[in-house]
Structure 1
Amino acid sequence: MASRNSKEAIAECISDDALIHLKTYKYSAVDKSPISHYILRPYWNAFVELLPLWIAPNMVTLLGFFFILVNVALLVIFMPDLLGPGPSWLYFSFAFGLFMYQTMDNVDGKQARRTGTSSGLGELFDHGIDSLNCTLASLLETAALGLGTSKSGVFTALLPCLPMFFSTWETYHTHTLYLGYINGPTEGILIACFLMAVSGWYGPGIWTERLVDLFGDRLYLVKGLGLTEQVLGDLAFRDLWVTFIASSLLFGHIPFCVLNVVKARRSRGQAVAPVFLEWTPMAIFTFSIAGWLYSPHSTLRSENHLVLFCITMSFVFGRMTTKMILAHLTRQPFPFWTVMLWPLVGGAVLFNLPILGFAPLSAQVEHAYLWGYLVFAAIVYFRWAYLVTTSICRFLGINCLTIPYEKQVANKKAALEAKKAANGRANGKTQ
């Protein structure tokens, strides 16, 4: 009976018919970034050689995520208000942790090819961790800029979910992960690391200083762009931040995602209009968050619960996007809904009830509701992730976080033979 229930639970998440497609799946990605190609790729190629052959690529991904989790824990301990200023070393730790996350996120695939353990599970695991990281790494950026729980802080912490959704949606239809000449996983992360490091050196107060004062005698450098002292006025970097990241998304990222999906659909003779209905879950996610956190009757921002809210949203958004990735890997219909959205919609409704004339709920009730949502989201997420991962591992005959001993021995032998061959060629050239 227990075995049958287990099989039914797995079938609920992923069917045998869907798993068949994993046998023929091949990863496809395009990265146009010059920084990635000419600067970071040589570094990644050198870094992966430092990793032992017994470390599984999914474990490499997980190790990168641990750098973020440790820094989130440090954030909660030393700067829970996301405002600061915190100790200088904390900002440098944020920058280092995010950079190491980027490093591990890019060498896990190289480790998979190096150890001969590439599979569709690797992409699911990799992008699943990326989805969880969207709100967590952005919390570090929010704290580094000293935005606190302001509306700009909420925007900064949760906006990265949008580009991640659209990239995943694009990949679902094109079957290729496309990264442009300037993209979030490369330049976006490097910019974030730079901002964190600057906060560590000068303090987060630098982002609220007038640009005129920051330029000082060097104001002539930007006068040619029409940025005179009169134009800049009292503007600070933080005043331009929301406009900058919103413009990058609306005019840079989303249009190209849509264009690539339209091209892919038309090339296969498929209708284009229906795909825009697939934005429904993200629209519900986005507007529910805005309706809840920006409500004048919500106390989450005033009571400093943005970190707890973002951790909860990491599970919710992680489930949404990982379901899309799984559907892409197994060629299944687009997943329009997840049960984890219901409490989010409920929060947006409950804490706007005074608009309809009802008495507002207390801060204690809202805090308890959010904690309940976190527990519910974590249970649902980890149950689903466990069932999907174990079913894929069983079907493909692989391990998720370890490399079988026989494979380790074979990899070590192959590495020794390759080293001998390289030494032989070097000796031949010397002679």
Structure 2
Amino acid sequence: MGYLPQQSLENLHKYSYKGVDKSLVSRYVLNPFWNWFVTLWPLWVAPNTITFTGLSIVLFNFATMLYYDPLYLTEKEGFSNPPQWIYYTWAAGLFLYQSLDAIDGKQARRTGMAGPLGEMFDHGCDALNTTLEVILASRALGLGRSWWTVASQIATLANFYLTTWEEYHTGQLFLGHFSGPVEGILLIIIIFLVSGYAGPAFWDQKFWTILHLDQMPIISKLPNLPLNESFMVFGALGLILNISNSYYNVRVTMHKQRKSHLKPLLYLLPFVFTALLQVAWLSHPKYNNSWILESAAFVPFLCAWGLQFAHQVGRMILAHVTKGDFPAWDWVWIWSVLGAVDANLPLIGIAPIIQRSNKHTTVFVWITFAVSFLAYARFVTLVIRDITNFLGIACFTVRKKDAKGEWQDARPNVKRA
């Protein structure tokens, strides 16, 4: 018996990709480049190979951060000072990721490999990239271990969740005039470039001061936030706009289908629950110097959170392509529930049972990361196995039927039964 029930597999035949991209930057600037870039790839290269190559580049960027800033992951306090040129490599890597993420669909159409597996794989890599870029961008902005980084994680994941939630209910992927995959990534690339030229300390300058407006009577009464914190406020405003647009699109779809537009709102609660859960774990009372936000456990904590999120939205996308029920609960959250409850036991006068010290907390966070990683790896493996077996395709190989109806590898001089 496979991971997916037979009815879900049968519904894969009903899948058809629908997408809307209203970005002017994408249409007039990037898309002509993408149309040329995809022609450089041989037709025997599978779309998922291109997608995974992009994610691998981001993982390499993340590895360079840990290499040049080991204190971020190994010490409770303090940071290393990575060379400024490293930020240029992050900018180049992210641009390559965006480009590869944009052309995998084009390659799928060129090779006749467009289908539900491609959307699952593409969105899965995007979900992982989301947390990795939050960590990298926060480091480039000089935010480090702070609530601003946590806020950035929540806002970024919320945008991704909203897009997936909207696609589930409307049946199409909608990217507005300002979207995360296009303008959002370009903004992060600009951050990396500025940090490479001026250093992360540049972002500590006050917003109104650097514009020479801080002496104006009206402006002087407004908060003069640092540039990095101002960027977070700008992101919050963008999130509010995206929430409004997503809800509007879902509301219109529900009206056309003569369904309640209130029920879909209930499916936003799972994300709210998980965000509050992680915040509760982070904001627990200090006990024996056990404080994740100020410790070396912060990076693995964010990574565990990101993996749990990827598992959550992966199941949402799977429900979309198989016409299944919306997954309102995910068992992988149980481990974080345990961590949050245990850490907050001092609020009722009980010492934490597991997280009795900073060392115990760090170990528990790493275990949570390992469990989250294994859970997501299992999900990805089982889903890919079931879909490829049912549809008779391969994940990383372009396979087509020959004149005899037999599957053939598209690479030159390679055949498979």
Summarize the alignment of residues 297-312 of structure 1 with structure 2, pairs less than 5 Å apart.
297=286, 298-312=290-304
Measured in 1, the distance between the counterparts of 2:252 and 2:329 equals 26
Structure 1 296/77 Cα, relative in aligned 2: closer, same or farther at 3 Å? farther
Tell me the distance in 2 between the aligned counterparts of 1:20 and 1:371. 39
CA–CA separation in structure 2 for the residues paired with 1:260 and 1:269? 14
* Structure 1 counterpart of 2:367: 372
TM-score (norm 1): 0.87
1:84 Cα deviation (Å)? 5.2
Q: Which residue of 1 aligns with 2:405?
A: none
In the alignment, which of 187, 191, 197 is matched to residue 187 of structure 2?
191
Matches within 5 A, 1:246-257: 246-250=236-240, 252-257=241-246
| Count of residues paired in the alignment | 395
Q: CA deviation at 1:318?
A: 0.7
Check whether the contact 1:158–1:310 (CA below 8 A) recurs between aligned residues.
no
Which structure would you say has the larger Rg? Answer: 1
Residue identity matched to 2:204? T
The CA distance in 1 between the partners of 2:368 and 2:223, in whole Å, is 44
Which letter does structure 1 place at the counterpart of 2:358?
A
Which position in structure 1 is the counterpart of 2:410?
408
After TM superposition, give the deviation of residue 209 of structure 1 in Å: 1.5
2:137 equivalent among 134, 138, 141: 141
Going from structure 1 to structure 2, the CA distance change for 1:102 and 1:332 (only over 3 Å counts) comes to same
Residue 399 of structure 1 is aligned with which of 387, 394, 400? 394
Aligned-residue offset at 1:122? 0.3
Distance 1:160 1:341, change over 3 A: same
Residues 142 and 228 in structure 2, CA contact (< 8 A), matched pair in contact too = no
* Preserved CA contact (<8 Å) 2:117 2:387: yes
**Distance (Å, rounded) in 2 between the aligned partners of 1:47 and 1:244:** 32
For the 8 Å contact 2:307–2:372, the answer to whether it is kept is yes
- Aligned partner (choices 308, 311, 317) of residue 319 of structure 1: 311
Q: Corresponding residue for 2:234?
A: 244
The alpha carbon displacement at 1:358 in A equals 1.2
Who is 1:3 aligned against?
none
CA–CA separation in structure 1 for the residues paired with 2:411 and 2:358? 58
1:233 Cα deviation after fit: 7.2
Match of 1:259 in 2: 248
Closer, same or farther: CA 25–212 of 1 in aligned 2, 3 Å: closer
Secondary structure at the residue paired with 1:178?
Answer: strand
Deviates more, 1:59-68 or 1:149-158: 149-158
2: CA distance between counterparts of 1:49 and 1:18? 35
1:160 aligned counterpart, secondary structure:
helix
Give % identity.
35
Matched, 1:57 2:47: yes
Comparing 73-82 with 160-169, greater Cα deviation is found at 73-82
Change (3 A) 1:154 1:409: closer
Please identify which structure carries the higher helix content: 1
Residue 388 (1) aligns with residue 380 (2): no
| Cα contact 2:45–2:397 (8 A) shared by 1 | yes
CA 1:296–1:99: 2 relative to 1, 3 Å: farther
Q: What is the correspondence of 1:118-137 to structure 2 with a 5 Å cutoff?
A: 118-137=114-133
| 2:262 is the counterpart of 1:273 | yes
1:418 corresponds in structure 2 to none
Letter in 2 for 1:65: L
Counterpart CA distance in 2 for 1:119 and 1:402 is 14
Give the structure 1 partner of residue 323 of structure 2: 331
The Cα of 1:166 is off from its aligned counterpart by 0.8
Question: Map of 1:91-240 to 2, 5 A cutoff?
Answer: 91-215=87-211, 228=219, 230-231=220-221, 234-240=224-230
Question: How far apart are residue 120 of structure 1 and its match?
Answer: 0.9
CA deviation vs aligned residue, 1:369-398 (integer Å, no higher than 9, x gap):
111111211222111211111110011110
Question: Which deviations, in whole Å up to 9, do the C-alpha atoms of 1:132-155 show, x marking residues without a partner?
Answer: 111111111011101010111222
TM-aligned CA deviation for residue 158 of structure 1? 4.1
Residue 324 of structure 1 aligns with an amino acid whose one-letter code is M
Q: Which residue of 2 aligns with 1:285?
A: 274
What is the 5 A alignment of 1:329-368? Answer: 329-360=321-352, 361-368=356-363
Q: Which amino acid aligns with 1:366?
A: T
Whole-angstrom distance in 2 between the partners of 1:292 and 1:128: 26
Mark the CA change 1:233 to 1:325 in structure 2 (over 3 Å): closer, same or farther. closer
TM-score, with length taken from structure 2? 0.90
RMSD in angstroms over aligned alpha carbons? 2.2
CA contact (8 A) 1:84 1:143 kept: no
Aligned to 2:37: 47
Contact 1:168-1:321 at 8 Å conserved across structures: yes
CA contact (8 A) 1:134 1:158 kept: no
Q: Which residue of the partner structure matches residue 415 of structure 1?
A: none
Which runs of no fewer than 5 residues in structure 1 stay unpaired? 1-6, 411-431
Task: Give, in whole Å, the separation in 2 of the partners of 1:209 and 1:409.
Answer: 54
